[in-house]
Amino acid sequence: MLFRDRWILFCATGCNIGKIPVAPGTFGSLIGLLLAWCLSGWPIGWQALFTISFCGISVWIAHKAERLIGAKDPGMIVIDEIAGILIACLGVALTAASAVIIFILFRLFDVFKPFPVGWLDRHLAGGIGIVADDVAAGILAGIVYHAGVGLTAVM
Q: How far apart are CA 76 and CA 155, in angstroms?
A: 43
Q: How far apart are CA 30 and CA 142, in angstroms?
A: 16
User: Are 36 and 94 spatial neighbours (Cβ–Cβ below 8 Å)?
Assistant: yes
Q: What is the pLDDT of residues 72-107, one digit of tens each?
A: 999 999 999 999 999 999 999 899 999 999 999 999
Picking from 103, 62, 60, 102, the residue whose alpha carbon sits closest to that of residue 79 is 62
Mean pLDDT of 16-23: 96
User: Are 127 and 64 spatial neighbours (Cβ–Cβ below 8 Å)?
Assistant: yes
Residue spans per domain, the chain: 24-154
Q: What per-residue confidence (pLDDT) applies to 151?
A: 84
Q: What is the pLDDT of residues 25-82, one digit of tens each?
A: 999 999 999 999 999 999 999 999 999 999 999 999 999 999 999 999 999 999 999 9
Quick one: what percent of the chain has pLDDT higher than 90? 95
Q: What is the mean pLDDT of the chain?
A: 96
Q: What per-residue confidence (pLDDT) applies to 25?
A: 97
Spell out the alpha helix ranges (H) of 1-155: 3-12, 24-39, 44-69, 79-89, 96-112, 117-123, 126-154
Q: What is the pLDDT of residues 119-149, one digit of tens each?
A: 999 999 999 999 999 999 999 999 999 999 9
Q: How does DSSP classify residue 19? A: G
Q: What per-residue confidence (pLDDT) applies to 148?
A: 94
pLDDT confidence of 155, banded at 50, 70, 90?
confident
